[in-house]
Amino acid sequence: MTYSELRNQIFQKQSYLCVGLDTDVRKLPRHLLSEPDPVFAFNRAIIDVTADLVVAYKPNIAFYEAQGPRGWESLQKTLAYIPKNCFTIADAKRGDIGNTSGLYARTFFDPEAAGLDFDSVTVAPYMGHDSVMPFLEYSGKWVILLALTSNPGSADFQRQAVNEQELFEIVLETAQNWVGPDSHERLMFVVGATQAAELSRVRELAPKNFLLVPGVGAQGGSLADVSRNGLTSDGGLLVNASRSILYASSGTDFAERARAEAQAMQQEMAIQLSVIS
């Protein structure tokens, strides 16, 4: 999906909501456990009730890898089921040098390899440009680089001062230079919702790049704060919610409750978008 296609989806749906498919088999409603593939049955139901409200889906790969071959099959079926007008993110947080990164990229971008064809993958920048560039060798695919995350330990490294800058600021500037002046068409950054106070600074350094923002909902991030500091004239945000939507109910009404949660977020996003239109 191109930058302009993603932008158009945001304004057509009046939403920049991303649903994180962090599907934990231990938390599934009990009535789904008799399904041949309970994880896929759950994901399919969530997608069915939210696809008109969201612009992206983000399976967290760890939840599928933890199930071994069965989990990988669930992931393949889930990705194939997601509507083509929705942006897809492999939340894998990969990053290694040379050939290894190339193989990680192949895993998520080459359907002839592992049976997956995501639009994007999350990548850790710690090992530098040669750990990131193999992902960008795939035409039309995106890298979503970790920049300033929402976990408590993010300050251990990301907020450390280096030559009068914080490390996350160097990541933002340097990564854009790797890609070039049109980096916003291939490169996004992860910025946690609990870091909303820093979003204005992020926007100074990355004024056009999309930001993937986890941490709204169960992690306590404020959608209003994120929107105020992060939205651009093209939208520029994908705000992720996982647990607050997926596990709004553990009963037979889980899908209906999930839709209600997603719709409440979408309606707030529509209001925020009206301010920049």
Count how many domains the chain has.
1
Residues of the chain with pLDDT below 70 are: 217-221, 277
84 catalytic? Reply is no
CATH number at residue 16: 3.20.20.70
pTM across the whole model:
0.96
Domain containing 109 equals: 3-276
Q: What's the confidence (pLDDT) of residue 218? A: 54
Q: What is the C-alpha to C-alpha distance for residues 159 and 126, in angstroms, rounded to an integer? A: 14
Q: What's the confidence (pLDDT) of residue 23? A: 97
Q: Which of 193, 264, 274, 262 is nearest to 49 (CA)?
A: 262
Please measure the distance between the N-terminal and C-terminal CA atoms of the chain and give it in whole angstroms: 23
Q: What's the confidence (pLDDT) of residue 34? A: 96
State the catalytic residue, choosing from 13, 84, 93, 208. Answer: 93
